[in-house]
Amino acid sequence: MEMTEQDHYLTVDRPATAEFKDRGSKFIAYVYPVETVEAFKQYLQALKKEHPKAVHHCFAYRIGTDGNNFRSSDDGEPSGTAGKPILGQIDSRGVTNTAVIVVRYWGGTLLGVPGLINAYKSAAALALQVTPVVQKQVEVLYSLEFDYTQMNDVMVLLKQFNCTIHANDMQLFCVIKAGIPKNRLADFLYRLNDLHQVSVKKAG
């Protein structure tokens, strides 16, 4: 799934879960909104602790507003029977910054390759259906540094441009790390220039 350069992207609004059963095997799918691989790993570790007796923890994720950071894992299932079908469901919803983990409990009956593909695909699809998809704006991360006396002016500007504050350190000298909407970046920087002695630099 190649995502073109754009100002907005689609993602899941909140975590969700759904269950699919086939011949005794239970497939529990978990959907998470994630913005980093590290955040995904934390969810995966938590699920492994929550389901220590599960035989497989298969997953797929697509991260980044360009959608180019993705991975899928069969976690011991036959190659191509779990991770790819899960990723296929993420892509069919057209979302990014989204992870799906499917936990399988063995039911005693072999499902075969077609059965496994259907089970992982169905579990992922069910979980993705129960969480709303939302449109978010692509942001560029900037760090703003300013004297506390300018706090009000800076905050008004951030609110006016619908920026997202990711971190702040409010003391005598203030630092705010904020996501600036990409499609309004030039206007924001122009307006920020009117506020004297505000240092601005692109953050990593």
| pLDDT digit string, tens, across residues 157-188 | 999 999 999 899 988 899 999 999 999 999 99
Rg from Cα positions in the chain: 21
Q: Return the exposure string of 47-75: e unless at least 16 CB atoms fall within 10 Å of the residue's CB, then b.
A: beeebeebebbbbbbbbebebeebebbbb
| pLDDT digit string, tens, across residues 33-53 | 999 999 999 999 999 999 999
Provide the pLDDT for residue 197: 85
Q: What is the pTM of this model?
A: 0.81
Backbone φ and ψ for 106, nearest 5 degrees, come out as: -65, 135
- Whether the pLDDT of residue 3 is over 60: the answer is no
Q: How far apart are CA 158 and CA 162, in angstroms?
A: 6
Question: Which amino acid appears at position 17 of this protein?
Answer: T
For 82: left if phi > 0, alpha if psi spans -120 to 50, otherwise beta; the answer is alpha
Provide the pLDDT for residue 89: 98
Which among 59, 51, 67 has a CA at the least distance from the CA of 32? 59
Provide the pLDDT for residue 1: 41
User: Which residue matches tokens 């991360």?
Assistant: 141
Which pair of structure tokens corresponds to residue 67?
């959608």
Provide the pLDDT for residue 63: 96
Task: Please name each of the domains of the chain with its CATH number.
Answer: 8-135 (3.30.230.30), 138-202 (3.30.70.240)
